[in-house]
Amino acid sequence: MAFTSGSNVLLKNIPYQFKDVSLLDNRAYIGGKWLPAESGATFPVFDPEDNVVIFRVANLTDVEVHKAIDAAQTAFLTYKEFSHRKRRQLLHQWITVVKENRDDLAAICTLELGKPITESYVTVDYGLSFLEWFEGEIERLYGETIPAARENNRIFTTREPQGVVAAITPWNSPIAMILRKVGAAIAAGCTVVLKPAPETPMCAIAIAKLFERVGYPAGTLNIVTGDAASSPSIGNELCRNKLVRHLSFTGSTAVGKFLNGECGKSLKKTSMELGGNAPFIVFEDADIQKAVDGLISSKFRSSGQTCVCANRVFVHRSIMSEFAEKLNATQQKTFVYGSVWDPKVNFGPLYSSRGLEKVQKHLEDALANGATVFDKTSNTENQGPNFFPPTILLDCNAETMRFGSEETFGPLAPLVPFDSEEEVLRLANTYESGLASYFYTENISRLWRVAEALDTGMVGVRVGLVSACEQPFGGVKESGIGREGSKFGVEDYTNVKSITVGI
């Protein structure tokens, strides 16, 4: 299927028939209207499977972003007066239309991210789980009563929506990351200007198309699209415009630090979900097959392209060879390669040639410094220009090789031997990142000791997957500020107001 009809454009034939082609708009969404860039400019979106252009999307500048923020502020003045029950009903309707359009949303995700279709359904359902969780939270945005020190005073608190939220979302899990941010902000009573990643704008547009059907005030959600070159001007407006009260960003630590600095100039609240470099530790007393299974999901999920993917794999020296053998055997059995539209396929290409280059650099650096590839994965030839197979490296050193200090964001599993708990904790906690960590042990004392000692916002103990709508998601140190998902994710978009009454 390929077609052009007004603003609904798909430039390439694909083996999927969209049920509702109106979801494939290539315009921005501002104040309830679908608009091309004022300059008429567009930017290309590529299919990662073959690097062919699939869409051309409106390339905005700060001028349109300014208008989107004004529209969001106008909508906020109406939306903030809605009762919690009414907000909940609207969110429920949004959930219903997202569910009804699950197939098309998964297809768009596969198309612009190169995710195998089966994984795309997982990300749509993961996104939906956030909306469902936030729907429940809306009516539980409670305040408190506080005993007053002055006899004639009574003090209580309420939670108020902050106002206009700017959200900047990544390419790596577009539907889930958009719904995790936008769903929480809308649940809290805020309005949103969303800037999706230039690689995956069509997921955001489709979500907004469904949002539009629900009956929120015009301007409650706005989508401002732009390519990498226009992102700095769009980002500057989002950071500097005083009507924006909260900026929520998921992406690299370098960009997060810059945005946070800019937001500081008008003291905006920020939520920053930044780079990971997660340690994954397998102690000598671990259930080895359980640890292998955990690493398969932590390391290779989304072809290794999530911020919570294991990056440094520490394995106790005494079990290294057994672990490596089992890991290799399990990954050979687990992954199926081929067209991302084939429901049996569960491992796809990287998102772009940029992603591929980084993984290749980390591999070359490790090999140049003494690492070796463990039994090259078979059946992975001719999988397209951005494909990188699951690769296990032996004889690695996290202190001297590049993967040790930088997130690889790809399916490279460097196994680093260690000899003691003290040593591995020092290595795991060395860097400034502190998003997720994982470890496997069957020793109950060690379980508590290590969980408490790991300096990360999230710890997976005997699990390779921590992400869930009810789990507070976020990091410490240079991995971020704030928590997404869970009750904290909604509270993050509210201000606590204290009201003192004299009687």
Which residues in this chain contact ligand SSN in the complex, by CB under 6 A?
A: 172-173, 306-308, 467, 473
For the CB of residue 464, give the shortest distance to ligand SSN in the complex, in Å: 11
For the CB of residue 477, give the shortest distance to ligand SSN in the complex, in Å: 17
- 201 vs 217 by CB, closer to ligand SSN: 201
Tokens, residue 161: 């929506």
- 73 vs 110 by CB, closer to ligand SSN: 110
Residue with the shortest CB distance to ligand SSN: 467
The string of DSSP codes covering 154-222 is: EEEEEEEE-SEEEEE--SSSHHHHHHHHHHHHHHTT-EEEEE--TT-HHHHHHHHHHHHTTTPPTTSEE
The string of DSSP codes covering 231-285 is: HHHHHHHHHH-TTEEEEEEES-HHHHHHHHHHHHTTT-EEEEE----EEEEE-TT
- 270 vs 328 by CB, closer to ligand SSN: 270
Measured CA to CA, the distance from residue 209 to residue 267 in angstroms comes to: 32
CA distances to 110, 377, 423 from 345, rounded to whole Å, are 12, 16, 39
For the CB of residue 387, give the shortest distance to ligand SSN in the complex, in Å: 20
Select which of 49, 132, 273, 484 is catalytic: 273
Give residues with Cβ within 8 angstroms of 230, minimum separation 6.
Answer: 43, 59, 60, 61
- 170 vs 217 by CB, closer to ligand SSN: 170
Provide the 3-class DSSP secondary structure of residue 28.
Answer: strand
For the CB of residue 60, give the shortest distance to ligand SSN in the complex, in Å: 25
Angle CA 431–386–176, to nearest 5 = 65
For the CB of residue 50, give the shortest distance to ligand SSN in the complex, in Å: 24
- 305 vs 377 by CB, closer to ligand SSN: 305
For the CB of residue 84, give the shortest distance to ligand SSN in the complex, in Å: 27
Mode of pairing for the β-strands spanning 52-58 and 164-168: unpaired
- 214 vs 307 by CB, closer to ligand SSN: 307
Q: Active site includes 273?
A: yes
User: In sequence order, what are the beta bridge partners of 394?
Assistant: 372
Residues catalogued as catalytic = 273
